[in-house]
Amino acid sequence: MGQTIAEKIIADHAGLPTVVPGQIVNVPVDMAMANELSAALSIKELNSWGVDKVFDPRKICLVPDHFTPNKDLNAAAIATTVRAFAQKHDVRWYFEVGRGGIEHAVLPEEGVILPGQIMVGGDSHTCTAGALNCLATGVGSTDIACAWATGEVWLKVPTSAALEYTGKLRPHVYGKDLILYTLGDLGTPGATYMSIEYFGDVFDNLPLADRFTMANMAIEAGGKCGIFRFDEKTKDFVEATPRFIAERPAYHTFAPDADAAYAVSRKYDVTHIEPQVACPFSPDNVKPVSEIEDIKIDQVVIGCCTNGRLEDLQRAAEILRGRQVEKHVRAIIIPGSQRIARIAHETGLSNIFIDAGCVFSTSTCGPCIGGHMGVLDADEVCVSTTNRNFRGRMGHLTSEVYLANTAVAAASAIMGRIGSPDEL
């Protein structure tokens, strides 16, 4: 029996010819990442074990991004703890505020994680990096502490799901719509502990930004990871990153065997898919935008780790250029990284947003987790390009979050209600 991409990567790291779903193996990690919240817990664990030295400071990544810039004294204390740990152990990949951004955008664009590697992260959306043909998965803070101490992590080999996308996309339909449509089909438990493999000719005409969006939301279907096949677009992206340009590190790519076994297989013809909206209170409660009622909104969030890449901002700016955000709507733009923010300033994208009446924020998870920079009050309604809309996710328990792509979010900000760019 052939092997899937995840099975090949795990077998390669475990030094085994093959592995099978359900098998438990120990594997060396190429990168062990944490944000300030998960890192603080991992540091506490290491201290309780009496561990005073990490296995390899070159294979640890720390990105303060959830409650940073520090939102209060508690957040400041956590950030100080993580900063001191990074300095003590000379952690190579420590991204201070103003020099990084949101972990799931920063690591791929800097070249911290490469194709064929295994990365564990103290955040469920670590799977974002799977767009680069690697196995990236979220784990608990205790597992991160173990990885920092030993350089290894245990994995149960996941079953796999094959999702193929064919056809021609309609205007204003992007990777976000494909993954929302898929979640509407599979449901949030539909790929529990599976490695989701995305492929199909649709991706030939989409930038890598859309792959990151879809890999990011593999976890919303319960996935262990989301992985794309390696192609020239992947190669071009990886080999243009600062780390690769400076160091030329070797990497290995993996493709599934023709007779690989999949627990779930789906084929989607995207031709008739219109922009999708996930309604409260689950990412799989999905409707086409044309079926959304006249729902007045209070806030729009565009960006963050799921849709905060340059192409995402460009799509939103195309809609907002020369227009104004409706007077009762607050619109917040959050680039995924400082690098993206700089390009937005240099190319005038940020001016388009500011001229339209938006806030152009620093890179932070902020409102996505109800942390800061846009927390919702009781009964407020938000259209967001983030990845989750569970009850209370962005603030008050009676607030509501609708998930959509950046063009739909921008159009909704202008109209003051959920709507399609086609209406403009």
Q: Of 234, 236, 240, which Cα lies nearest the Cα of 253?
A: 234
- Closest-CA residue to 376 (of 361, 360, 406, 397): 397
| Count of other CB atoms within 10 angstroms of residue 390 | 12
- Sequence-distant (≥ 6) Cβ neighbours of residue 377 within 8 angstroms: 395, 396, 399
List pLDDT tens digits, range 143-185.
999 999 999 999 999 999 999 999 999 999 999 999 999 999 9
Domain 5-267: CATH architecture, name and number where available: 2-Layer Sandwich (3.30)
> Is residue 1 over pLDDT 90?
no
Give the three-class secondary structure for 306: helix
The full set of domain ranges for the chain reads 5-267, 277-418
277-418, what's its fold?
Answer: Aconitase; domain 3 (3.30.499)
**For residues 310-332, average pLDDT:** 98
Q: Give the type of residue at 163.
A: L
Whether omega before 69 lies within 30 degrees of 0, making that bond cis, reads yes
Please write the tens of the pLDDT for every residue from 23-50. 999 999 999 999 999 999 999 999 999 9
Q: What is the pLDDT of residues 211-256, one digit of tens each?
A: 999 999 999 999 999 999 999 999 999 999 999 999 999 999 999 9
Q: What is the torsional sign of CA 28, 33, 37, 42?
A: positive
**pLDDT tens digits, 9-22:** 999 999 999 999 99
pLDDT(206) > 90: yes
The pLDDT assigned to 329 comes to: 98
Task: State the residue for tokens 């998965």.
Answer: 137
Q: Which alpha helices (DSSP H) does 190-283 contain, by range? A: 208-216, 232-238, 242-247
Distance (Å) of CA 22 to CA 39, 91, 131, 159, 193: 29, 34, 24, 8, 10
Residue (of 285, 292, 286, 276) closest to 404 by Cα position? 276
| Rg of the chain taking only CA atoms, in angstroms | 20
The token duo for 406 is: 């950046």
User: Using one digit for the tens of pLDDT, what is the confidence trace for 46-58?
Assistant: 999 999 999 999 9
Quick check: 283 pLDDT over 90? Answer: yes
